[in-house]
Amino acid sequence: MKPTIKFCMVTTFYPPYNFGGDGIFVYRLSNELARLGHSVDVVHCQDAYYALNRTPSELAYPNHQNIKVYGLKSSLGRLSPLATYLSGRPWLKRGPLRRILNSGGYDVIHYHNISLIGGPQILYYGTPSAIKLYTTHEYWLVCPTHVLFKNKRAPCLEPECLSCELRHKRPPQLWRYTDLMAGALKQVDAFIAPSQSVIEQHRQRGLDLPFVHIPHFLPKEQEITETIRTQLRPYFLYAGRLEKIKGVHELIRVSAQYPAADLIIVGRGDYEDTLRRCAADAPNIKFLGERSYFELKSLYAGALAVIMPSLCYEVFGMVLLEAFAAQTPVIVNDIGALTEIIAQSGGGLVYHDESTLRAAMHTLRVNSSLRLELGEKGYRAYTQFWTEDQHLKAYLGLIGDLSRRKQTSETAAEAIHGR
- Domain range annotation of the chain: 6-217+388-418, 220-385
Least confident stretch, 202-211, 270-279, 288-297, 315-324: 288-297
Determine phi and psi for 195, rounding to 5 degrees: -145, 160
With 70 as the cut, is the pLDDT of residue 225 above it?
no
| Length of the chain in terms of residues written | 419
Residue 414 has pLDDT above 70, yes or no: no
Percent of the chain with pLDDT over 70: 94
pLDDT higher than threshold 60 for residue 156: yes
DSSP 8-class letter at 239? E
| pLDDT band at 257; cut points 50, 70, 90 | very high
* Confidence check: pLDDT of 223 > 90: no
pLDDT number for residue 228: 47
pTM score, whole prediction: 0.92
Q: Find out if CATH 3.40.50.2000 is the number for domain 6-217+388-418.
A: yes
Between CA 305 and CA 323 the distance in angstroms is 8
Per-residue confidence band for 224, with pLDDT thresholds at 50, 70 and 90: very low
Tell me if 250 sits within 8 A of 316, measured CB to CB: no
Rounded to 5 degrees, φ, ψ at 122 are -65, -20
Q: What is the mean pLDDT of residues 277-283?
A: 97
Question: Which amino acid, one-letter code, is at 103?
Answer: S
Question: What class, spelled out in words, does domain 220-385 have in CATH?
Answer: alpha beta
The per-residue pLDDT for 416 is 64
Alpha-carbon gap, residue 403 to 91, rounded angstroms: 31
Name the band, by pLDDT with cuts 50, 70 and 90, for residue 380: very high
Contacts of residue 195, Cβ cutoff 8 Å, sequence gap at least 6: 213, 215, 315, 316, 336, 337, 340, 341
Average pLDDT, the chain: 93
Query: One fold for both 6-217+388-418 and 220-385?
Result: yes
| Rounded Cα distance, 278 and 357, in Å | 18
Is 314 in a helix, a strand, or coil? coil
Q: pLDDT of 338-365, one tens digit each? A: 999 999 999 999 999 999 999 999 999 9
Mean predicted confidence (pLDDT) in 405-409: 83
Instruction: Quote the pLDDT of residue 60.
Output: 82
Closest of 263, 382, 386 to residue 326, by C-alpha: 382
Angle, nearest 10°, between helix axes 337-345 and 196-204?
150
